[in-house]
């Protein structure tokens, strides 16, 4: 029996550093390389963000015994499973720009979307890690299906446990998430601090 309730987060204060966008656009770490036109488009796109983002996350915390006991959950006392997204609005806006041959605007908006999705995942990760600490447990870093020994097909397990449709996320036959700017992950909660590589400063 799954003991924990479904948690849903809807209040996010998305913060995107220009530096991260410029790195993703290939400028490297020196912002001196960035031309004025690109800076202007980034600013314009950032101003559009509030109307394009619908950041939400759902997660659930399971006892190890309630999981499918996949090796990636080994030694965990509890496991948090999570799906988060920025919604479909930004993707649609970006696609429209690309169709209109406004390729750079579309690319920059898409890049902002990737960073926004990452920020939602980061904030949710932090929220879950705090729950682990309140339980007196040590949270692992977050890991997503498709990385390490966790096969991409295990997305289906997360989507079986979590009501992804409540936040507008679905899984394709090839285990991709729609909207694309979505992140799924798990965090193991350990009794032994030495089991996690997460840093606690």
Q: Is residue 54 helix, strand or coil?
A: coil
Check residue 172 for interaction with another protein (CB under 8 A). Answer: yes
Instruction: State how beta strands 138-139 and 170-171 pair.
Output: unpaired
Residue 30: in which H helix or E strand, if any? none
Least Å from the CB of residue 175 to another protein:
8
Place of tokens 């997503």: 144
The contact mask relative to another protein for 99-118 (x = CB under 8 A, - = no) is --xxxx-xxx-x--------
* Residue 141, CB-side half-sphere exposure with 13 Å CA sphere: 7
Measured from the CB atom, is 101 or 201 closer to another protein? 101
By C-beta, is 98 or 135 nearer to another protein? 98
Question: Segment 46-65, which members bind another protein (CB under 8 A)?
Answer: none
DSSP 93-135: HHHHHHHTT-HHHHHHHHHHHHHHHHHHHHHHHHHHHHHHHHT
DSSP label of 175: S
Helix (H, G, I), strand (E, B) or coil at 60: strand
Query: In the complex, what is the shortest distance from the CB of residue 27 to another protein, in angstroms, rounded to a whole number?
Result: 5
* Single residue of 4, 7, 20, 25 touching another protein by CB under 8 A: 25
Min CB(125)–another protein separation in Å: 23
Q: Which stretch binds another protein (CB under 8 A): 52-60, 65-73, 135-143, 172-180?
A: 172-180
Element (H or E) spanning 7, and its range?
Answer: strand 6-9
Position 35 contacts another protein (CB under 8 A): yes
Residues of this chain that interact with another protein (CB under 8 A) are 25-27, 33-35, 37-38, 41, 94, 98, 101-104, 106-108, 110, 146, 152, 172-176, 178, 180
């Amino acid at each position: 029996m799954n003991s924990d309730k479904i948690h849903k987060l809807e209040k996010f204060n998305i913060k995107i550093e220009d530096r991260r966008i410029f790195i993703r656009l290939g400028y490297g770490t020196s912002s001196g390389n960035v031309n004025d036109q690109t800076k202007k488009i980034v600013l314009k796109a950032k101003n559009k963000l509030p109307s394009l983002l619908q950041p939400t996350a759902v997660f659930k915390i399971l006892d190890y015994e309630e999981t499918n006991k996949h090796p990636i959950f080994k030694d965990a006392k509890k496991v948090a499973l999570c799906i988060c997204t920025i919604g479909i609005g930004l993707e649609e806006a970006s696609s429209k720009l690309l169709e209109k041959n406004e390729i750079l605007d579309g690319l920059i908006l898409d890049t902002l979307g990737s960073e926004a999705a990452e920020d939602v995942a980061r904030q949710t990760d932090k929220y879950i890690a705090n729950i682990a600490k309140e339980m007196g447990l040590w949270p692992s870093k977050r890991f997503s299906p498709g990385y390490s020994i966790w096969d991409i097909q295990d997305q289906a397990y997360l989507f079986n446990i979590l009501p992804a449709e409540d936040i507008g996320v679905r899984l394709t036959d090839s285990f991709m998430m729609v909207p694309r700017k979505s992140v799924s992950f798990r965090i193991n909660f350990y009794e032994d601090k030495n089991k996690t590589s997460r840093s606690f400063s």
